[in-house]
Amino acid sequence: MPGPWGTIYFLGVAQVCSFLFSRWNLERVMNQTDASRPLNWTIRKLCHAAFLPSVRLLKAQKSWIERAFYKRECVHIIPSTKDPHRCCCGRLIGQHVGLTPSISVLQNEKNESRLSRNDIQSEKWSISKHTQLSPTDAFGTIEFQGGGHSNKAMVIRHVGDALKDHASKSRGKICTIGIAPWGIVENQEDLIGRDVVRPYQTMSNPMSKLTVLNSMHSHFILADNGTTGKYGAEVKLRRQLEKHISLQKINTRIGQGVPVVALIVEGGPNVISIVLEYLRDTPPVPVVVCDGSGRASDILAFGHKYSEEGGLINESLRDQLLVTIQKTFTYTRTQAQHLFIILMECMKKKELITVFRMGSEGHQDIDLAILTALLKGANASAPDQLSLALAWNRVDIARSQIFIYGQQWPVGSLEQAMLDALVLDRVDFVKLLIENGVSMHRFLTISRLEELYNTRHGPSNTLYHLVRDVKKREYPGFGWIYFKGNLPPDYRISLIDIGLVIEYLMGGAYRCNYTRKRFRTLYHNLFGPKRPKALKLLGMEDDIPLRRGRKTTKKREEEVDIDLDDPEINHFPFPFHELMVWAVLMKRQKMALFFWQHGEEAMAKALVACKLCKAMAHEASENDMVDDISQELNHNSRDFGQLAVELLDQSYKQDEQLAMKLLTYELKNWSNATCLQLAVAAKHRDFIAHTCSQMLLTDMWMGRLRMRKNSGLKVILGILLPPSILSLEFKNKDDMPYMTQAQEIHLQEKEPEEPEKPTKEKDEEDMELTAMLGRNNGESSRKKDEEEVQSRHRLIPLGRKIYEFYNAPIVKFWFYTLAYIGYLMLFNYIVLVKMERWPSTQEWIVISYIFTLGIEKMREILMSEPGKLLQKVKVWLQEYWNVTDLIAILLFSVGMILRLQDQPFRSDGRVIYCVNIIYWYIRLLDIFGVNKYLGPYVMMIGKMMIDMMYFVIIMLVVLMSFGVARQAILFPNEEPSWKLAKNIFYMPYWMIYGEVFADQIDPPCGQNETREDGKIIQLPPCKTGAWIVPAIMACYLLVANILLVNLLIAVFNNTFFEVKSISNQVWKFQRYQLIMTFHERPVLPPPLIIFSHMTMIFQHLCCRWRKHESDPDERDYGLKLFITDDELKKVHDFEEQCIEEYFREKDDRFNSSNDERIRVTSERVENMSMRLEEVNEREHSMKASLQTVDIRLAQLEDLIGRMATALERLTGLERAESNKIRSRTSSDCTDAAYIVRQSSFNSQEGNTFKLQESIDPAEHPFYSV
């Protein structure tokens, strides 16, 4: 294409590598151009595809376009010297509508006589004089039609394909504006119209010199300077628009403008001049040249490759380049030299030119070339370059060209880049910034974390909906009125809101740090309404000085000390924890996985993320969101759950004891929970079913008892025969390094203080602990410990043995079970025998059992972890058996009250007793959960009950359809009564189980019948339509008994196999709940449990004054390990080592997998093929070079042969001449001798004689006489 259109593409690099074009921008450009009259162009056409929401806005835009855009038309015909039938504007003379040609033109057309060129060109055609402005009549929307582009499209076709690929990846976010001259557009008449929709054919005419528009652009601006078929009308418009857009800011925080780069693809001779303008602009615009695209691009690439510093080039290459320019553009020698000078001026700034070889690096690397050009030519600071690389998401460029040795970074610039990387979800950049010294502890502040939660970038998430639901729960009375179903548009999410969301998702007694009193007080002091401005720590001004000292807030006897002068007050102790939770809530899985790898407590973070994702998936499904969101969140939850299990397995392989400590030590940053508690909250069965967790639970189940076989029989024997306790073995303190807090306190109180061991013995123990990291040493150490315990178990005091025996969960379980069986036997007795007026002893025991059980349930509620009473009740009611226990106790209480009354209430109370005992028998299923065989069956029953509820709904529809029809047909004269409801369901329901009531299917009716004995039976009259009942009954039985019942069996079968496949995990998960339940229960079962309650109340009241502030609360007594800071550091170091080993093994497995080997092999084959292609190309180039050399050698040989022939001819001529001279000389001598002898004289002979006389005889003795 001979002109600049389609050869130079302006790229404004913003967040999506494109620029946003708006009416305001164009108006600014128009205002600037109007001030710089006279204009050589005017905008003729604006094609837009924007959707405007209202008719008023459409009218406003239409009027604005007509005011701002104008067209130019030629109003004076001046014939061209090259073509007299065509005006200088490029149009034919006949196409000038309403204009009359001049006399000279008419004479020229009629007579075709030659007029004087001075008369024709007496007035030179110009845009300003011979064109007229008028409002544009071509704007609207284009509907492109037709197929692909012809070869004439050239550059537009290549760039259009690139835009098509980018548009498909960016899902319509790109805005591409095509700027071209109106005069070279094919089918202009199709685009004329005011605010219209015009179809446009993209098939170009091969015989036409005009060009069609490319359909891959979203907008077009066509510049009209009144000419047709001429290029250059758009140059000034494009340059001013580029300049205006480059002045816009893409990042208001750092004031960075839109970077500009010129992309050169193919092009004519004017492109080289335009490139020089780009390079000389202020600031200069970097240029990317696509080598291999042809014409001007190849010439620029050649000059860039072979030119030296300062724009100099070798003389031999200079001549070659001049010849290339002449051949490429069909130029004369003078024109080529002029263009060569312009090219050399461009090469003086070759550092601003980047050459991209099309077809070598691949089309996907052109963005790398553009970004490299911007970094080289923009002359921007390092932070601006980093922002640019961040916008393009090219971490490789940032690592190789920006983070170089000796680079100086302003204070806070990397932190700003970190914030941008987090907002844009650039995981690789976050990793790069951390590697280059960004401290996350210093970076993450309260304000920045809030900014991250309020960002609108990144993938869609459900955080907004979660905050809305939480706010409604926070204001239940007027939430709907205040929020009207949604949050305000300008609502800013606070960290306190995030804390409420986390607590809501985690459920149970979880308490987030953001909702604790200390953080609330800190937050309100930093951002509350009492403070006019934020702290300087937040990077903002503070006009009012802070009150120095410590601020103390007291509430409920709690003190919250906040030192506002502490520089660390605005930072988080575990920044990676906060960022991982942020990434999980914002549904940024890759970012969350990255933050999971960093920082401490990786196992706890994985479990928390697993629970959060699972809860968000549940909320998404409950809110009827897109199914993909729930599925994606469930997938994320499984990923984190798998990481937790694999990390636990890795740590268990390294060291069993430290792995158990990982499960039980208190996590202060995660609501003071443990990893086991978090796994249970997330319902992570695989984690609980792991060998390490089960070993811990087994030790917890056994308490201090050392039993392996027949543990149940030994415990029952110990309960029934207490003296047998003395024969049991007990564990020592050294056998339980992961001992729980309650046992720890008891040992400190009960065990006598042992003398301090010498240093040597301590060192030996430390060496043994270190040796436990190895398997062999660990086994030997355990054997040694067992021998020591066997030698010392007899030394345990008798009182402590009794205490440890009855406090073991397994003993409590069997104690409670035996008491429960006794309670059921007494309950059976009182409901089976006659009930007396006053309760018997057996009944009083049952009443006391139920009453003390109710007190125990109240104790469980009060001793639960949540702080508020309402939350305690909510958490307690989340357990299924707690709800059923509450109903059963209340029902029994009602029955007891009625039983103590006179008749008939006493009988009603007895009936309630009989119904109530059903539940207490069903309650035995919970006890069966301790058995590994019965436990899964109990879960199957529960799941099948849920499945059956859905089946009952379907069955109810079928049953109602038959029951109502049957009752209405057979009994048409029934009076209104509640018995009708019973009659509808009664018989159809029993028919499901096979009772079809055969005698009532088609009973006899109508006329009287005579029996064989002669008796006459009077039959009832037949009901109208009674024959229909057997027919619909047959259909009903077919559907209900065969179809629906078999469907229910199939559903049960599916549930059975589903649970059977995970029965082991199910049982182990239920086992945890059972063990923790009996671990926290008092020693004595109901009704003796009342004495335990009294003891606990007495201890709480009498011993409270002795409690130290650092002592844990009674609610913390459970499967929880409290360790010192040094031990905590060892546990964290061990966990980090396990993570490193885990990723090392994972990488090894990945590298050794078949898929990775195939991928590596394919890459090697591709590299080899590329190298072979390069070798082939070099070989072909060498062959071409050799052929050129052969041709030149042949030419030289031919030339040498010709020269040799010429030399031979010259030599022959010289020889002939010399021979002639010799022959003449010899003839002259002979004649002289003859003259002497003859002595004859004449005029000629005299002359000859005189000649001979002039010869010196001395020099020529031959002539001497």
The pLDDT of residue 528 is 64
Residue 385 lies in a domain: no
CA-based R_g, the chain, Å? 50
The pLDDT of residue 813 is 92
Whether the Cβ atoms of residue 523 and residue 446 lie closer than 8 Å to each other: yes
Q: Do 1037 and 960 have their domain in common?
A: yes
Paired tokens of 61: 């835009």
Can you give the three-state secondary structure of 1002-1051, one letter per residue?
CCCCCCCEECCCCCEECCCCCCCCCCHHHHHHHHHHHHHHHHHHHHHHHH
Q: Which of 899, 927, 955 is the last residue of a domain?
A: 927
For 408, the enclosing helix (H) or strand (E) is none
Length of the chain, please? 1265
Exposed, middle or buried by CB within 10 Å (0-12, 13-18, 19+), for 617?
buried
Paired tokens of 599: 């920082």
pLDDT for 633 beyond 50? yes
Output the CA angle 639-644-646, nearest 5 degrees: 95
Instruction: Report the candidate in 261, 381, 363, 365 with the shortest Cα–Cα distance to residue 13.
Output: 261
Residue 1043 lies in a domain: yes
Q: How many helices (H) and strands (E) does the chain have?
A: 50, 17
Instruction: Report the candidate in 609, 665, 597 with the shortest Cα–Cα distance to residue 634.
Output: 609
Reported as a pLDDT band with limits 50, 70 and 90, residue 25 is very low
For 99, the enclosing helix (H) or strand (E) is none
Per-residue pLDDT tens digits for 502-556: 999 998 788 898 988 888 888 888 776 544 333 333 333 333 333 333 343 334 4
Per-residue pLDDT tens digits for 1005-1031: 777 666 666 677 777 777 787 888 888
Q: Which of 620-634, 660-674, 679-693 has the lowest mean pLDDT?
A: 620-634
**Which residue(s) pair with 198 in the sheet?**
142
Residue 261 lies in a domain: no
C-alpha distances (whole Å) from 810 to each of 702, 711, 713, 740, 1155 are 6, 9, 11, 16, 50
pLDDT for 1250 beyond 50? no
Q: Do 845 and 908 have their domain in common?
A: yes
Whether the Cβ atoms of residue 848 and residue 856 lie closer than 8 Å to each other: no
Total domains in the fold of the chain: 2
Q: How far apart are CA 176 and CA 167, in angstroms?
A: 10
Residue 946 lies in a domain: yes
Q: Name 383's Cβ contacts closer than 8 Å, sequence gap at least 6.
A: 254, 409, 410, 413, 416, 417
Question: What is the pLDDT of the chain when averaged over all its residues?
Answer: 76
Q: How far apart are CA 311 and CA 309, in angstroms?
A: 6
> What sign results for the dihedral spanned by CA atoms 813, 818, 821, 827?
negative
Domain around 959: 940-1064
Instruction: Report the candidate in 844, 840, 859, 851 with the shortest Cα–Cα distance to residue 893.
Output: 851
The pLDDT of residue 895 is 92
Q: How far apart are CA 248 and CA 242, in angstroms?
A: 10
Max mean pLDDT range (354-368, 762-776, 897-911): 897-911
Reported as a pLDDT band with limits 50, 70 and 90, residue 174 is low
DSSP symbol at 1192:
H
Reported as a pLDDT band with limits 50, 70 and 90, residue 1230 is low
Q: How far apart are CA 702 and CA 1078, in angstroms?
A: 11
pLDDT for 263 beyond 80? yes
Q: How far apart are CA 688 and CA 682, in angstroms?
A: 11
Per-residue pLDDT tens digits for 721-768: 888 888 888 887 666 655 554 444 444 444 444 444 444 444 444 434
The pLDDT of residue 359 is 61
Whether the Cβ atoms of residue 10 and residue 262 lie closer than 8 Å to each other: yes
Max mean pLDDT range (113-127, 400-414, 432-446, 476-490): 432-446
Paired tokens of 706: 């050392």
pLDDT for 915 beyond 90? yes
Q: Do 1005 and 919 have their domain in common?
A: no
pLDDT for 42 beyond 80? no
Residue 875 lies in a domain: yes
pLDDT for 110 beyond 80? no
State mean pLDDT over 859-865: 87
Whether the Cβ atoms of residue 837 and residue 829 lie closer than 8 Å to each other: no
Max mean pLDDT range (319-333, 399-413, 1019-1033, 1079-1093): 1079-1093
Q: How far apart are CA 1198 and CA 1191, in angstroms?
A: 10
Per-residue pLDDT tens digits for 315-326: 778 888 888 888
Whether the Cβ atoms of residue 496 and residue 523 lie closer than 8 Å to each other: yes
Residue 716 lies in a domain: no
The pLDDT of residue 166 is 44
pLDDT for 889 beyond 90? yes
Instruction: Report the candidate in 1220, 1222, 1228 with the shortest Cα–Cα distance to residue 1248.
Output: 1228
The pLDDT of residue 1023 is 77
Taking each helix axis from N to C terminus, what angle separates 905-922 and 809-832, rounded to the nearest 10 degrees?
150
Which parts of 721-758 fold into alpha helices (H)? Answer: 741-750
The pLDDT of residue 1245 is 41
Paired tokens of 555: 């509430």
Q: Do 911 and 980 have their domain in common?
A: no
pLDDT for 826 beyond 60? yes
DSSP symbol at 213:
P
Q: How far apart are CA 1 and CA 214, in angstroms?
A: 14
Q: Do 1024 and 910 have their domain in common?
A: no
Q: Name 811's Cβ contacts closer than 8 Å, sequence gap at least 6.
A: 703, 705, 715, 718, 719, 805
DSSP characters over 956-1012? HHHHHHHHHHHHHHH-TTPPS-THHHHHHHHHHHHHTTT---GGGTS---SS-EE-T
Question: How many CA atoms within 13 Å lie on the side-chain side of 131?
Answer: 25
Q: How far apart are CA 42 and CA 34, in angstroms?
A: 10
- Hey, is 354 helix, strand or coil? strand
Q: Do 1049 and 971 have their domain in common?
A: yes
The pLDDT of residue 393 is 82
- Residue 551 one-letter amino acid: K
The pLDDT of residue 577 is 93
Instruction: Report the candidate in 288, 579, 296, 623 with the shortest Cα–Cα distance to residue 433.
Output: 579
1082 prior amide bond cis, ω within 30: no
Reported as a pLDDT band with limits 50, 70 and 90, residue 1185 is confident
Residue 870 lies in a domain: yes
The pLDDT of residue 887 is 94
Phi-psi group of 255: left, alpha or beta (phi > 0 → left; psi -120 to 50 → alpha; rest → beta): left
Q: Do 950 and 1046 have their domain in common?
A: yes
Q: How far apart are CA 972 and CA 505, in angstroms?
A: 57
Residue 1091 main-chain phi, psi, to 5 deg: -70, -35
- The Cβ of residue 614 has, within 10 Å, a number of other Cβ atoms equal to 22
Q: Do 944 and 901 have their domain in common?
A: no
Q: Do 1038 and 961 have their domain in common?
A: yes
Whether the Cβ atoms of residue 223 and residue 71 lie closer than 8 Å to each other: no
- Residue 327 one-letter amino acid: K
- Hey, is 92 helix, strand or coil? strand
Residue 495 lies in a domain: no
Q: Which of 927, 949, 984 is the last residue of a domain?
A: 927
> What sign results for the dihedral spanned by CA atoms 175, 180, 186, 190?
positive
Reported as a pLDDT band with limits 50, 70 and 90, residue 45 is very low
C-alpha distances (whole Å) from 441 to each of 449, 524, 568, 593, 1259 are 12, 22, 9, 19, 115
End-to-end CA distance of the chain: give it in Å, rounded: 93
- Hey, is 88 helix, strand or coil? coil
- The Cβ of residue 397 has, within 10 Å, a number of other Cβ atoms equal to 20
Pairwise pLDDT comparison (1191 vs 823), residue with the higher score: 823
Question: How many CA atoms within 13 Å lie on the side-chain side of 1123?
Answer: 23
What percentage of the chain reaches a pLDDT higher than 70? 74
Reported as a pLDDT band with limits 50, 70 and 90, residue 578 is very high
Pairwise pLDDT comparison (116 vs 798), residue with the higher score: 798
Pairwise pLDDT comparison (1011 vs 890), residue with the higher score: 890
Instruction: Please state the separation of Cα 425 from the chain's center in Å.
Output: 7
Instruction: Report the candidate in 90, 26, 106 with the shortest Cα–Cα distance to residue 231.
Output: 90
Q: Do 981 and 1019 have their domain in common?
A: yes
Per-residue pLDDT tens digits for 231-250: 777 878 888 888 888 777 76
The pLDDT of residue 737 is 53
Q: Do 1034 and 1060 have their domain in common?
A: yes
pLDDT for 655 beyond 80? yes
pLDDT for 713 beyond 70? yes
Instruction: Report the candidate in 183, 188, 69, 192 with the shortest Cα–Cα distance to residue 133.
Output: 69
pLDDT for 361 beyond 50? no
Q: How far apart are CA 452 and CA 32, in angstroms?
A: 39
Q: Which of 360-364, 876-880, 1249-1253 has the lowest mean pLDDT?
A: 1249-1253
Per-residue pLDDT tens digits for 1118-1131: 577 878 888 889 99
Q: Do 944 and 1059 have their domain in common?
A: yes
Q: Which of 1047, 1064, 1081 is the last residue of a domain?
A: 1064
pLDDT for 917 beyond 90? yes
Per-residue pLDDT tens digits for 1142-1178: 999 888 888 888 888 898 888 889 889 888 988 887 8
Per-residue pLDDT tens digits for 831-854: 999 888 888 999 999 999 999 999
